Amino acid sequence: MPVVQVEGVHKRFGEVEVLKGIDLSVESGEVVAIIGRSGSGKSTLLRCINGLEQIQSGRIQVAGHGLDASAHGLRDLRKDVGIVFQSYNLFPHLRVGENIMLAPRVVLGVSKVEARSRAEETLAEVGLAERFDAWPDNLSGGQQQRVAIARSLAMRPKVMLFDEVTSALDPELTGEVLATMERLAAHGMTMLLVTHEMAFAERVATTTVFMHQGKVWEMGPSAKLFDAPQTAELKQFLGGGLK
């Protein structure tokens, strides 16, 4: 059974229909990249998948949770779905280690010892083991973003969503975050990522989805999609200076 299953999802903001019938499924261990123009609905789709936005029709199943559920059900779903945004949104009043330990402690109720070992483990995974006691404000953007990733990982999610996590970073800091994600993918994490880094998508993603005007316009194995785009829109998008 797929980890993420999206069927016929429609999403409107007031009168504006942003998602116009999305079908998508992500198998365990798969890395799916979502590309597309600004405003095509990429972020909205990710936000729907962990219930930050409500959908008007369709069905979303994530890691065995339905999305139609109550507030309580939503929280259960979010325990299994990590999401990282373009802005890192670390908790500024907590040190790096505490940032990571908080949700496992409070939400999952794990012991302090267990939370700490999770934090150390995930920090090591993103290459920041030695910054456990640092304040978020004293880290570079790239480091903060990696802490944000570690913070999500400490919940042991079944799938990770990334929404343009490198877009706010200086070019020289992008690499470290992408490397972190690539390592995660190599370790078998199921990932759904919105990105403008075409080379990264082509190399790391098993499948790439091209969204256009609120629809999945074209989708396929990354190599194939980038080498031989079928639709005029994707050709234009890929030719539009990004590659």
Partner 1 sequence: MIREFTQSEFIFILSSARWTLLLTVLSLVLGGLFGFVVAIARTSRLAPLRLLAAGWIGVVQGIPVLILLFLAYYGLSMLGFDLPPIVAASISMAFYASAYLGEIWRGCIQAVPWQQWEASTALAFSRPQQYRYVILPQAMRIAVAPTVGFIVQLVKNTSIVSIIGVIELARAGNLVNNATFQPFKVFGTVALIYFAICWPISLLARRLEGKLNASRAG
Ligand X SMILES: Nc1ncnc2c1ncn2[C@@H]1O[C@H](COP(=O)(O)OP(=O)(O)OP(=O)(O)O)[C@@H](O)[C@H]1O
Residues at the contact surface with Mg ion, assessed by CB under 5 A? 43
Contact of residue 91 among partner 1, ligand X, Mg ion, none (CB under 5-8 Å per partner type) = partner 1
User: Residue 101 Cβ, how far from partner 1 at the closest point, in Å?
Assistant: 11
Q: Which is nearer to partner 1, 192 or 216 (CB)?
A: 192
Name the site residues for ligand X (rule: CB under 6 A): 13, 18, 36, 38-44
Pairing between β-strand 57-62 and β-strand 4-13 as defined by DSSP bridges: antiparallel
The minimum distance between CB 110 and ligand X, in angstroms, equals 33
Q: Toward ligand X, which CB reaches closer, 41 or 136?
A: 41
**Overall size of the chain counted in residues:** 243
Alpha-carbon radius of gyration of the chain:
18
The residues of the shown chain that bind partner 1, judged by CB under 8 A, are 50, 52, 71, 75-76, 78-79, 82-83, 85, 87, 89-93, 102-103, 106-107, 137, 148, 151-152, 155
Q: Report the nearest approach of partner 1 to the CB of residue 225 (Å).
A: 29
Strands across the sheet containing 81-84? 81-84, 159-163, 190-194, 31-36, 207-212, 215-221
Please, which residue, 26 or 209, has the CB nearer to ligand X? 209
What's the CA gap between 52 and 44, in Å, rounded?
9
Residue 98 or residue 218: which is nearer to partner 1 going by CB?
A: 98
Query: What is the DSSP code (8-state) at residue 230?
Result: -
Which does residue 13 bind out of Mg ion, partner 1, ligand X, none, counting CB within 5 to 8 angstroms by kind? ligand X
Q: Which does 240 bind (CB under 5 to 8 A by kind): partner 1, Mg ion, ligand X, none?
A: none
Contact 28, 185 (CB under 8 A): no
Strand order in the sheet with 65-66: 16-26, 4-13, 57-62, 65-66
CB of 42 to Mg ion, least distance (A): 5
142 binds, among partner 1, Mg ion, ligand X, none (CB under 5 to 8 A by kind): none
103 binds, among Mg ion, ligand X, partner 1, none (CB under 5 to 8 A by kind): partner 1
To the nearest whole angstrom, how small is the minimum distance from the Cβ of residue 39 to ligand X?
4
Report yes or no: 104 and 153 within 8 Å, Cβ to Cβ. no
Give dist(CA 216, CA 190) in Å, integer: 20
CB of residue 41 vs ligand X: minimum separation in angstroms?
4
CA distances from 187 to 30, 31, 143, 190 (A): 11, 11, 20, 9
SS3 label, residue 234: helix
Closer by beta carbon to ligand X, 67 or else 165:
165
